[in-house]
Amino acid sequence: MAVTALLTVGALVVPLPFVAISPGSVIDVGDLVESTEQPPGDVGGGFYLTTVRLTPVTTVEAVRAWLRPDIDVVDARRFGPSDLSPDELLQLNLDQMDASKRQALAVALEELGYDAVSGDGAEVVDVVSGAPADGLLVAGDLIVGLEGTGVTSHHDVLRLLAGQPPHHRIELDVEGAGGGDRRSVALTLAPGAEDPGQGQLGALLRTRAPRFDLPVDVDIATDRIGGPSAGLAFALEVLDVLSEGDLSGGRQVAATGTIELDGSVGQVGGVSQKAVAVEHEGLDLFLVPRAELPQATRMVGDEVRVEPVDTVADALRILTAGGASGLVRTPW
């Protein structure tokens, strides 16, 4: 009996391979981003990143946490391999933050018209069924030229296609998947889903072997903040800093989501807890990855507007529709 009691007590206090995710803090990204090339008169609201607090739990603590709607208990392996020491796990998260900052800066500069990303070409990731590229391009193909102009990144393709109308015929220089022979591909652009006046290929592209050339001096100081989830917030703040006007529309805007070089926004986890922190701080708008919208909306009241985004472009449209000046590009 005594042995059984001791074992039971031990099970209650021994840490489990789980962590509790609870609301963290909301941080003004404007305090973290500095640039010598910020245009004058950039005033108004601001952008905020959100954090969560991770705490190892015992059995008793896990049960208590499960009873609270603002805390989730999850497998600790979600945040890194189980064989990592605390210091190694911290370093992993800091490395993820560094990569997130670099990608956010590159995405923002590309949005502003800089050639910040180059690589071996624009690689085809997927082709939309029935689209102009269907049957002509396959996953793994590498676009290295468009209408006689060299292509080193997927951004080059987007720039070269910008303003091209539907039904316009173009010619691509393509290297076959797996290092196949180079070939010419002629196709006729289709109307865009969101902008029928813009022609589109109907192919998802990414830059192969990306290399960064960041010509603008921007510093993002994150100290001991880790993880990749602030990518969207960083990209929006950099865009706001390097362009004229007020991109936030005078509002306090929180944002969470990873950022990819194609401008897409990815899921992050802990959105319920981040929403609680956003509401607690009294912010106006919370931009979240589309798939995590339900988790965010169930945790906040009517005072916080929550909007889903798939891309940085989605975020810019939402901000402009809400009264922001929009992205005003400044030539340097």
Report the C-alpha gap between 302 and 298 in whole angstroms: 11
Task: Indicate the pTM of the whole model.
Answer: 0.79
Pick the CATH number of 23-52+68-74+88-114+215-321 from 2.60.40.10, 3.40.50.2300, 3.30.230.10, 3.90.1300.10: 3.30.230.10
pLDDT score recorded for residue 272: 93
> What digits encode the pLDDT tens for the residues 76-91?
767 666 666 667 767 7
Report the C-alpha gap between 174 and 193 in whole angstroms: 25
CA nearest to 46, candidates 34, 32, 28: 28
Give the mean model confidence (pLDDT) for residues 117-143. 94
> What digits encode the pLDDT tens for the residues 161-175?
988 999 999 999 999
pLDDT over 70 (residue 330): no
Mean pLDDT of the chain: 85
User: Could you tell me which residues are beta bridge partners of residue 47?
Assistant: 253
List the structure tokens of 60. Answer: 């008793």
Residue with tokens 């709607």: 69
Report the C-alpha gap between 74 and 72 in whole angstroms: 6
pLDDT over 60 (residue 128): yes
pLDDT over 80 (residue 102): yes
Give the mean model confidence (pLDDT) for residues 228-241. 92
Mean pLDDT lowest among 39-48, 163-172, 243-252 = 39-48
Report the C-alpha gap between 161 and 198 in whole angstroms: 8
Residue 134's SS3 state is: strand
Pairwise pLDDT comparison (260 vs 40), residue with the higher score: 260
> What digits encode the pLDDT tens for the residues 131-183?
999 999 999 999 999 999 999 999 899 889 988 999 999 999 999 988 778 99
pLDDT band per the 50, 70, 90 thresholds, residue 331: very low
In the chain, the amino acid numbered 254 is: A
> What digits encode the pLDDT tens for the residues 267-317?
998 999 999 999 999 999 999 999 999 999 999 988 899 999 999 999 999
pLDDT score recorded for residue 39: 61
- 256 vs 23, 86, 186, 223, 288, CA distance in Å? 14, 25, 40, 18, 5
pLDDT over 70 (residue 326): no
Report the C-alpha gap between 3 and 8 in whole angstroms: 9
CA atoms within 13 A on the CB side of 64: 10
- How would you write 224-270 as a 3-class SS string? CCCCCCCHHHHHHHHHHHHCECCCCCCCEEEECCEECCCCEEECCCC
Report the C-alpha gap between 147 and 143 in whole angstroms: 11
pLDDT over 90 (residue 190): yes
Report the C-alpha gap between 288 and 246 in whole angstroms: 21
Report the C-alpha gap between 256 and 266 in whole angstroms: 9
pLDDT score recorded for residue 1: 41
User: Could you tell me which residues are beta bridge partners of residue 127?
Assistant: 203
Domain 117-211 has CATH 2.30.42.10: yes
pLDDT band per the 50, 70, 90 thresholds, residue 244: confident
Report the C-alpha gap between 108 and 119 in whole angstroms: 17
Report the C-alpha gap between 204 and 123 in whole angstroms: 8
CB under 8 Å to 68, separation ≥6 — which residues?
Answer: none
pLDDT band per the 50, 70, 90 thresholds, residue 127: very high
CA nearest to 289, candidates 234, 246, 229, 242: 229
Q: Where are the domains of the chain?
A: 23-52+68-74+88-114+215-321, 117-211
pLDDT score recorded for residue 288: 97
| Conformation bin of residue 147: beta by default, left when phi > 0, alpha when psi is -120 to 50 | left
pLDDT band per the 50, 70, 90 thresholds, residue 14: very low
Report the C-alpha gap between 104 and 249 in whole angstroms: 21
pLDDT score recorded for residue 205: 92
User: Could you tell me which residues are beta bridge partners of residue 33?
Assistant: 220
